[in-house]
Structure 1
Amino acid sequence: MPAGRYTYYDFTLSLCPHCLRRVEAKIVFEDDKVWMRKRCPEHGLQRVMIATDVEYYKQIRNYNKASEYPNRFHTPVQWGCPFDCGLCADHEQHSCLTVLEITDRCNLSCPTCYAESSPTHGSHRTLAEVERMLDAIVASEGEPDVVQISGGEPTIHPDFWAIMDMAKARPIKHLMLNTNGLRIANDPGFAERLATYLPDFEVYLQFDSFRPSVLMSMRGQDLTRVRERALARLNAVDLSTTLVCTLQRGQNEDELGEIIRYALEEPCVRGVTFQPTQVAGRTDNFNPATDRLTPTEVRQRILDQTPLLQPNDLIPVPCNPDALTMGYLLKLDGQVFPLTRYINPAALLDTSRPNTIVYEQQEDLHRHVLDLFSTGCSVDTAQENFHQLMCCLPPVSAPSLGYGNLFRIIIMHFMDAYDFDVRSVKKSCVHIVEPNGHIIPFETMNMFYRSAVQRANLASIRAQIPSFSQSPSL
């Protein structure tokens, strides 16, 4: 593209998607979209669309809040981001959610799988390893906000219940189970036993599409009946559940509104998380050149397909606004009320004072809103609880309302080497704990640290970079 056909907006560091070397990158506005332009000395010029909404993209960084750090860092700054994970002393965000992968194995071999799991891939973590990993999370966070037990498929681990007990015995505010739902659907009594870990426990259930063709393409099986049986069992015990939908262009991006409406009707479902496919691991039926979806595309499709919502119902999450978009709805007496539109965004970022709720809604609704976050105490307490809501999963203690009255919509974008932005990855707040106790951002874990081949490539990259070991963070 000839120079001058775009508007230069910003500068960052990115990666070449072919060799994963660090390269300089321009952020430019062109054709009413946001693009990243970068040049690798070996692989030439690359142009990647990173947003379809210029105005929303410009607003994102206005939502950045002050950094919150873990209790301790685990690795020194030696080669520069993203080659020092982690968490290194240059990282700018603690773990809002820590993923505890207890196994590499799975009872599916999904064509889309960032961990490349299958019935024959890798191994299970030992109980001693899991205990060290849990202790590392607690040492890093004190009282971790959210810990998600994952894999592979964690429910096939032979010591699954012992691991659940170990996790529940620690000071974790909210425990999650990431699952494809097969065991919940097919194992009588499994959901009932999971429900014994309530409260502060939730199922993170894979739910990609209503169409068998999409499920075959992304999961290798038509899992429609499995999802129905799993949700029936979860509803029977009222076990809080989030539906998680992996997105690919041409597959399921036209189903977002339908999935939200379905989830609102399921009593146990507390929200839906939409995750555009990260180019990592196994992506058999995915072409990065044609099938990528940007977070702003997902946001706009949700708005287009959900008449209930307006643009200020889906806003950036201040701990990592490039990667996370969130909106909350309130479920009351069979009705659904959008809630996020009543937040004062300026107050959301001001850590010196609690957030304020803008009282423009009808009298009965703002009485319920205040009740939801006040625990019957002062307005200041209500506002402080709402401030926490826009970071992590909320504790809800109100005389007439509970967690079941909240419904959240999240867009969770995990960058890969195509759209990698070093500024954003430093704010990554979804992390994976390793058996050695290192805690690594989800994004960089899947590019550099998951497999022996990736680690060998990382060592090769590091060998070409001058080390500044033990240097303090900037």
Structure 2
Amino acid sequence: MPKNRPYLFYELTNSICSQCLRKTEAKVIFEEGRVYLWKHCPRHGREKVLISTDVDYYKRCREFLKPAEMPQVWNTPIRYGCPYDCGLCPDHEQHSCLTLVEVTDHCNLQCPICYAESSPNRTTWRSLAEIERMLDAVVRNEGEPDIVQISGGEPTLHPQFFDILDMAKARPIRHLMVNTNGIRIAQDREFVRRLAAYMPGFEIYLQFDSLEKEALMNLRGADLREIRRKAVEHLNEFNISTTLVVTLKKGVNDGEIGRVIQYGLEQPAVRGVTFQPIQAAGRTEAFDPSRDRLTLSEVRQKIIEQSGVFAAEDIIPVPCHPDCLAMGYALKLNGNVIPLTGLIDPQILLEGGRNTIVFEQDQSLQERIFHLFSTSHSPQSSALSLRSLLCCLPQVALPDSIGYENVFRVIIMQFLDAHNFDVRSVKKSCVHIVHPDGRIIPFDTYNLFYRDGREEVLKALRDERQMEDRHV
């Protein structure tokens, strides 16, 4: 009688050893309803990493594939193979949906989980000339970038912060975001008033991890509850489009997912919530990946269970990077919340919105009659094109009476680290960071190989790869 393995072998990919970062072969296996990455490093042995708690959803992600959208130019040649050629190289399979421009390493917090290891002790400010070159690099690659996010450190502390925003707004960037911990927004109402002048096409990406003191102390090292309350109050006052950004750590704040969504729905300025499980990169104090890691599928299930808004069919993979991005959209009308994503025909989603669907709700709310996924917009219309905010979505045409303030989105954004790194997946990464030298590098690989002094490690790996190739 043949002996069966206790798992199903699903596919083969490449990963990296979480200790030495050398490239390794990896199996994707299904075992007891979960998905694992099982890899072997000749130097450090076997490693088994949980990558999904939902086999069916993991397989469904393979259905959400569409032809890759390329940048206008490539920045580096293919020499050593992924992930050692980032910049972007011609082997990458996705352009930049969102590009971060980091303007400083300085921060007024020293968060125990900061991927950039920013702190009050780091005092590096990028000059306007350097930032201008970085913005130009994004425009060179994208022509009209979908989203550019000014980040740090804490970017609002940059002494020439508004000059940076002026430079960004002077370029053909469809949507500009500022990634901030909200301290200056909470403490300086005049600063917030000046921010309002950059609307529309401008958004605050506000750190908002928890409503509880203990969780904030664990994640940020400070009780920021009053700061968050005051920041949201100021943003509501000036109606500045805001996304609440929740960094999730298992057992710390994952029980608050529904509360944060409900809180966001109650705020006039909040357009959505983004959930980001901790990436094991940078400064990760008291974070054990075997104990504290959350997968995208776990976060998705918690949204379904806790939100009271989104059902399973409403949180779907994002086609540009389905392994690491999931989304759900809803419409806020007259105190009602209407989930939209479950109404999408997946084929229309994958075709990029070349068809039109007309969806009619009950006649008691005439505003609920709208067209979904139309490819045309009148330049005079105030209707929102979601496609201009996330390139992998079809366009959404809404009546003139319905604007961006009526749209609420939930996004799960999972970044790969040395443990769950999958070369097949990272090739589709669409969230990128501008290197100071102008290369555009996926967020996942930037924090592993390209931030601060890590390129010395990368150089050693490249040299080793080159020696191996010579022997072959």
Same fold (TM over 0.5): yes
Matches within 5 A, 1:327-338: 327-338=328-339
Q: Which residue of 2 aligns with 1:458?
A: 458
Deviation for aligned residue 1:104: 0.8
Do residues 299 (structure 1) and 286 (structure 2) align? no
* 2:209 corresponding residue in structure 1: 208
TM-score (norm. length: structure 2): 0.93
Report SS of the residue matched to 1:283. Answer: coil
TM-score by structure 1 length? Answer: 0.93
CA contact (8 A) 2:315 2:341 kept: yes
User: How many angstroms does 1:361 deviate by?
Assistant: 4.7
Task: Indicate conservation of the 8 Å contact 1:323/1:412, yes or no.
Answer: yes
Q: Please name the residue that 1:449 is paired with.
A: 450
**CA 1:159–1:389 in structure 2 vs 1: closer, same or farther (change >3 Å)?**
closer
- Whether 1:219 aligns to 2:220 is yes
Per-residue CA distance 1:280-325 (angstroms, 9 max, x = gap)? 0001121111000000000001101122221110000111111100
Aligned to 1:312: 313
Give 1:420 deviation, angstroms: 0.5
Distance 1:149 1:397, change over 3 A: farther
Q: Is the 8 A contact 2:76 2:87 kept in 1?
A: yes
- Provide closer, same or farther for how the CA distance between residues 255 and 264 of structure 1 changes in structure 2, counting only shifts above 3 A: same
* Counterparts in 2 of 1:179 and 1:89: CA distance versus 1, 3 Å: same
Show CA shifts across 1:325-374 (max 9, x none).
000000011111001110001221125x6144374754567963525766
Q: Distance in 2 between matches of 1:335 and 1:388?
A: 25
Gaps of 5+ in 2: none
- Taking the TM superposition and a 5 Å limit, the aligned residue runs for 1:192-203 are 192-203=193-204
Q: Is 2:402 the counterpart of 1:401?
A: yes
- Please say if 1:103 is aligned against 2:104: yes
Give the CA deviation at 1:64. 1.1
CA 1:392–1:26: 2 relative to 1, 3 Å: closer
Distance 1:357 1:251 in 2: 41
Contact preservation (8 Å) 2:324, 2:415: yes
Counterpart for residue 260 of structure 1: 261
For the Cα contact (< 8 Å) 1:78–1:468, is it kept in 2?
Answer: no
Give the paired residue count.
464
| Structure 1 counterpart of 2:121 | 120
- The question of whether the paired residues in 2 share the 8 Å contact of 1:374 and 1:398 is answered with no
Distance change >3 Å, CA 207–CA 264, structure 1 → 2: same
Corresponding residue of 2:281: 280
**1:68 alignment partner in structure 2:** 69
* Aligned counterparts of 1:253 and 1:123: Cα–Cα separation in 2: 34
Cα distance change, pair 292–269 in 1 and its aligned pair in 2 (3 A): same
**What is the distance in 2 between the residues matched to 1:41 and 1:92?**
29
Structure scoring higher RCO (CA < 8 A, sep ≥ 6) equals 1
SS of aligned partner of 1:466: helix
Contact 1:372 1:398 in 2 (8 A): no
Q: 1:405 to 1:467 in 2, by over 3 A?
A: farther
Give the RMSD, CA atoms, in angstroms: 2.5
Cα–Cα, structure 1 residues 364 and 372, in superposed 2: closer, same or farther, change >3 Å?
Answer: farther
Q: Is the 8 A contact 1:7 1:30 kept in 2?
A: yes
Q: Does 1:163 align with 2:153?
A: no
| Distance in 2 of aligned mates of 1:81 and 1:286 | 27
Q: Secondary structure at the match of 2:465?
A: coil
Q: Partner letter of residue 10 of structure 2?
A: Y
Unaligned runs of 5+ in 1: 470-474
SS at match of 1:290: helix
1:52 aligns with 53
Q: Distance in 2 between matches of 1:437 and 1:468?
A: 30
User: 1:144 aligns to what?
Assistant: 145
Sequence identity percentage: 56
Kindly provide the CA deviation profile for residues 49-74 of structure 1, in whole angstroms up to 9, marking residues without a partner as x.
00000001001011011000001010
Q: What secondary structure sits across from 2:328 in the alignment?
A: strand
CA distance in 2, matches of 1:219, 1:37: 32
